Chain A
Amino acid sequence: MRSAKAIFIKQLQDTFKNRLILIQLIIFPMMAFIMTELVAKVDETIPNSIFVTMFAAMFVGMTPLVMTNSAIAEDREHKSLRFLVMAGVKPYEYLLGIGGFIVLFCSFVSLVFGLIGGFTGVVFVKFVSVLVLGSVASTLLGAIIGILSKNQQAAAALGMPIAMLLAFAPMIANFNNTIEKIADIFYTQQVNVLVNDSSASVTRPFFIIVLNIIVLLILFTLAYKKKGLKS
């Protein structure tokens, strides 16, 4: 576990020195805050939490995915991963270090979203828990893309369209029944359902998100067996 801890600390230090990733982390809660303060709280016809839920769902679909795939792809491209493996770091320790930090950091941002939205009590806990679960799924998907990509450019080319598709599908689903039916199987749609409607039944969306995580874990195992972490 000490290797996972060392990689967790590395990822923490590196994230705060990586402007592109910091922008990814800050932009969604910042937009949610600005829109809530300037639009939702001014216009009484708009629910106060509408921008928070919208940007939170986008954040979960995009940020953990992009952070994970770019971290893994960069380590592969710069051959840093080679030195970690040579130092005896096991693949699961590496992925636990990277993924653990990203999920934890996204959990912190989820708390910020909850505070901006003004949620309290059970609603607050449910809101944050759903975002954390969604972040786990996105991190796994990012790890799959990072493993399958040769370098950062390839990871971005593959990761960004997938992230955008997952982040924006729930929004498009509002206007099209067919897309809604397709989007229904993805975790981002279920995250969107749960964060937008605090009175919605939890069982089905929760089941679909967990199912997504299980499927992504299986796909991750297959991708790892095929490509591994070797540069």
Chain B
Amino acid sequence: MIKMTNIVKRFGEQTVLADITFETYTKEIFGLLGPSGAGKTTIINILTNQLSADEGTHSIDATPFETGLMLDEDGLYVRLNCLENLNIFAGIYGISHKKSMEALKRVGLESDAKKAVNTLSRGMRQRLAIARAILHEPKVLFLDEPTSGLDPVTARGIHKLILNLRENGATVFLTTHNMDEAVKICDRVALLHKGKIVEQGIPTEICHRHNAVKTVPDLEAVFIKMTGVGLE
């Protein structure tokens, strides 16, 4: 579905991605885990053709119209309300404006449809950005740190939504530095450190492989064992 082979990316003298290789399967949630600066967003930017790689190849089995995107900067039109923001994209995708309201319902923002974006809380903006990403029911969904900075209740709501999207047939590629989140919702993960993938596979299997299961699988312990550093 999504494939990266031997990707190398340099910014000047600095190599930010070194020999990145992974593959995701259809209808799975694939998590890319690592601390800030590990190269997670750079990988999304390369996959979505916003950046070009210096070496290697990558492919996605979906057209731009079949791809949804939520990035660290939401790019929402701050003076417009939630519904107007989604209607712009409904117009671009050529789908009914009814879908905008449906997408708002899915993220729990239907009662805030007429609120201007610049009056929303951070969590609400994140949910609106997700609503825009899922508006056209994409085959592939990129979510860059979807729960970063959110309270646990809102984060849980977003987890439910992501799991629901997978149930409906979407492939979700998400980045996070929250190991618990990865264990809870990801089918497979890749651990990224300083631009290199140090481990990848099914979260519980990775934890068992590295004897990092006490009461629950502990991916953070694996990460510290592999890299010598924590995530925060």
Q: Which residues of A contact B (CB under 8 A)?
A: 2-3, 5-7, 9-10, 13-14, 17-18, 78-84, 86-89, 230
Contact = CB atoms under 8 A, between A and B. Distances in A.
A13 B89 CA distance: 14
25 contacts: A2-B92, A6-B87, A7-B92, A9-B91, A10-B80, A10-B84, A13-B80, A14-B80, A17-B79, A78-B75, A78-B77, A78-B78, A80-B76, A80-B77, A81-B75, A82-B73, A82-B75, A86-B64, A86-B69, A87-B89, A87-B92, A87-B93, A88-B63, A88-B65, A88-B92
A18 B88 CA distance: 17
Contact of A7 (B67, B71, B88): B88
B132 A83 contact: yes
Contacts of B94: 2
Contacts of A18: 79
A82 B84 contact: no
B80 A17 contact: yes
Contacts of B88: 6-7, 9-10
A5 B97 CA distance: 14
A6 B50 contact: no
Contacts of B84: 10, 13
A77 to B, nearest CB: 10
A83 to B, nearest CB: 4
B21 interface: no
Interface residues of B, number: 27
A3 B77 contact: no
Contacts of A78: 73, 75-78
Contacts of A5: 91
Given A6-B88, A9-B88, A82 B80 contact: no
Contacts of B71: 79, 82-83
Given A2-B92, A10-B84, A13-B80, 15 more contacts: A3-B92, A6-B88, A7-B88, A14-B80, A17-B79, A78-B73, A78-B75, A79-B74, A82-B75, A83-B89, A83-B132, A86-B67, A87-B89, A88-B65, A89-B92
